[in-house]
Structure 1
C-alpha cells in the first residue's frame, strides 16, 4: 500500500473535511514507516515491522491524527524504563485487517480509537467490561498486564493494532467538517463522567480537576457543567494556561476557583468551604 502524503492541517472553525482518496491494497506490507522516539527526545523516521495482532485485534491505518500535549510531555522523558517508542494516541483511521475472532465486515470501516486497551484477563475483562480494565495498556506508553502483550506502537506510524473494542465506528462524522481524531478526548471525558457517577452515586455539586487548565479539561469542564456540577476547583501549574482557561469558562453557568498546585493552603480552605467530606 502506498502511503498517502502527510498534510499538516490547522483545525479550527474553517476546517473542511479531508477524506482518504487511496484504496486499501493487499497483501499488506511486512514493514511500515514510523516516527520512533528515543530516550532523550530524538525522533527518527524508521522502517519497522508491521504490528503483531492477537485474535481479537484489528489493524488500523491512521488517517487523522492529533498531537496530544501528554505525548509532547513524554518526548524527552519516556515512560518508565523505555528506551524508545512510537507515540500518537489521538487518531482515527480505517480498519485494514482483523484478527481471527473479529468479523471481516469491519475491514474498510472508519473508526476513532480509544488508546487504553484491555488486558483481557482481569475480572472486568472476563465479564466483557473492557472499559473498566484494571491492567490496561496504553498505546506508545506501556503494555497491558497480559503476558502475551507487547508495547504497542501509537499512530505516528502507518499501522496500529489494538483490541477491536477500542475501534469505534465514526458513523460519518469525518464527512461533517469535523476532525475525527478529536472524538478521542471527548470519549475520555464521557468515561470520566461515568467514573464520577459511580463514585458519587449522583452528580456532585463540586468537582476538583487536577490538571484542570490543560487540554483535556477544555472538554471536561463544559461537559460536567451540562451534567449539573455547580463549582469547579481547577488545579494547575502555569499562569498562561490558567488565564486562558479563565477566558474559556467565563460564559459557563458555574463557579470556578483556580489554584496553583503548590497552593496547598488555598486548596484546604476551599475544601472546608465547598466540600465537607472532601473533593470528588
Structure 2
C-alpha cells in the first residue's frame, strides 16, 4: 500500500513528540500491514515522551513509537500463509531472535537479543503498522477494540501475578498504574483471599477498588507494612507484585512479605534500590522473581481466556478515549496520574 498516514513521531532527543504525516510502511515478505483501530499509551511511552535517562540511552529518534494496539490486517507479505486480510488482531511486542540459548529452550520472553516494537523499531501510534506475522495474535471478533489494544500490558499483569500460586493467598499490588490495576483484577479472578492495593494516588486507588481490591492503602497516609501485617494476623502477605519502581515502595514490599513468600518485580526502578538481603530475603526464605514481558504465547492464551470468560473486566481502568491528534492530552493525564488507561483512536 502506498501513500502517507498520520503518526505520532518522537521527532528529537528531548521532551515531547509531534503528529506528522509519514509514509505508510512497506510490507516485507514475512510481515503483515495492519490498519490500527485503537492504540493505548504505556508507561514506557511516557518514559520516551518525557525523555528520561532510560529513554535517552535506549531510543533513537526520529521514529514512530507506541506498541499497544488492535487493528485489521489489510495486506500480507508473500510468505505469510497463516493470516489473511480482514483478520482482527493485536501483537506480541517482543521481537525475538529464535537462536539464542533462551529461545532454543522455549524461553522466548527472555531472549537475549530482544527488540521491542515502538522502542527499537517503528511503532503503532499511527494509522498503520507493519509487523512480522509470527508476532500477530488473532482476536475474537466481538472483542471491543479498546480492550483488544490493552491485552499486551494485561499480559504483563498476568505474568506477574500468575508466576506462582495465588488461590487462597493474600496478594499485595504495589503501584496502581494501569498494569497494577489489571494485576488487581487478575489476582481477584485467580482466587486470592485478599488483594491489597497500595499507591499514593487516591484516584487510582478508587480504580483499584473497582477492579476488585479488598483493601486500599494510601502509602503516604498510613504505614503500608503495619497495615499489611495487621490484615494477615501479623505474618505478612503471601505474594507481593511490585509495579511502582519506587525504592521506598520496593523496600516496603520486602518488609511486608511473609516468610517463604513470593516477590514478583515488574517495575523498572530508575535509581539504585537498597535491599536488606540478609533479613528480608535470606532469613525469610522468600522467592524473588524478575518479570519481563509475557511468556510467548502461554500468557496470551491466559489473557484471552480471562477476558472471554468475563472473569476480568477491564472497563473500569480504561478511563479515557482520545483521537490520535489529542495525544498530548493523553500524555499529560498519564504524567499527572489522573487516569487509568488512555486509548487513542487514529
TM-score (norm 1): 0.66
Deviation at 1:43, TM superposition (A): 2.1
The answer as to 2:277 corresponding to 1:277 is: no
Per the alignment, residue 12 of structure 1 pairs with: none
Residues 69/265 of structure 1: CA separation in 2 closer, same or farther (3 Å cut):
closer
The answer for the alignment partner of 2:182 in structure 1 is 219
For residues 68-110 of structure 1, give each alpha carbon's deviation from its aligned partner in whole angstroms, at most 9, with x where no partner exists.
3442342021622523332222211111222333117522211
Would the aligned equivalents of 2:67 and 2:118 in 1 still touch at CA under 8 Å?
Answer: yes
- The alignment covers a number of residue pairs equal to 234
Q: Identify unmatched segments of 5+ residues in structure 1.
A: 1-27, 143-151
Instruction: String of CA shifts for 1:24-68, please: whole Å, max 9, x gaps.
Output: xxxx11554422123223422334344355543222121222223
- Alpha-carbon distance, 1:257 to partner: 6.2
CA distance, structure 1, for counterparts of residue 37 and residue 186 of structure 2? 27
Shift in CA distance, 119/207, structure 1 to aligned 2, threshold 3 Å: farther
User: Which residue is equivalent to 1:180?
Assistant: 148
CA distance in 1, matches of 2:250, 2:145: 43
* Stretches of structure 2 lacking an aligned partner (at least 5 in a row): 221-245, 262-283, 289-346
Q: What SS does the corresponding residue of 1:97 show, helix, strand or coil?
A: strand
Any idea what the Cα deviations from partners look like across 1:183-224, whole Å, max 9, x if unmatched? 333333334455x14xxxx448455555x3111111112212
Aligned partner of 1:35 in structure 2 is 8
- 2:341 is matched with none
- Which of residues 127, 140, 153 in structure 2 aligns to 1:171? 140
Mapping 1:220-235, distance limit 5 Å: 220-230=183-193
**Using the alignment, how far apart are the partners of 2:188 and 2:217 within structure 1?**
14
**Where does residue 280 of structure 2 map in the other structure?**
none
Distance 1:43 1:169, change over 3 A: same
Task: Tell me the residue number matched to 2:25.
Answer: 51
- How far off its partner does 1:111 sit? 0.6
- 1:242 deviates by 5.8
Partner SS state of residue 150, structure 2: helix
Alignment partners' CA distance in 1, 2:193 and 2:176: 17
Distance 1:224 1:259, change over 3 A: same
Higher helix share: 2
Match of 1:240 among 188, 202, 218: 202
Structure 2 SS opposite 1:135: coil
The alpha-carbon deviation at position 270 of structure 1 amounts to 1.3
Cα distance, 1:189–1:100 mapped onto 2, change above 3 Å: farther
Q: Which residue of structure 1 lines up, in the alignment, with residue 316 of structure 2?
A: none
Measured at CA, do residues 162 and 127 of structure 1 come closer, stay the same or move farther in structure 2, by a change above 3 Å?
Answer: farther
Q: Give me the CA root mean square deviation.
A: 3.5
The answer (yes or no) to whether the contact 2:259–2:286 under 8 Å persists in 1 is no
The match for 1:108 is 86
Aligned equivalent of 2:111:
133
Instruction: Pick closer, same or farther for the CA change 1:60–1:131 going to 2, 3 Å.
Output: farther
1:153–1:124 Cα change, 3 Å:
same
Other structure's SS at 1:71 match: helix
Give the whole-Å Cα distance in 2 for the aligned partners of 1:192 and 1:53. 34
| CA distance in 1 between partners of 2:286 and 2:204 (Å) | 23
Per the normalisation by structure 2, the TM-score is 0.55
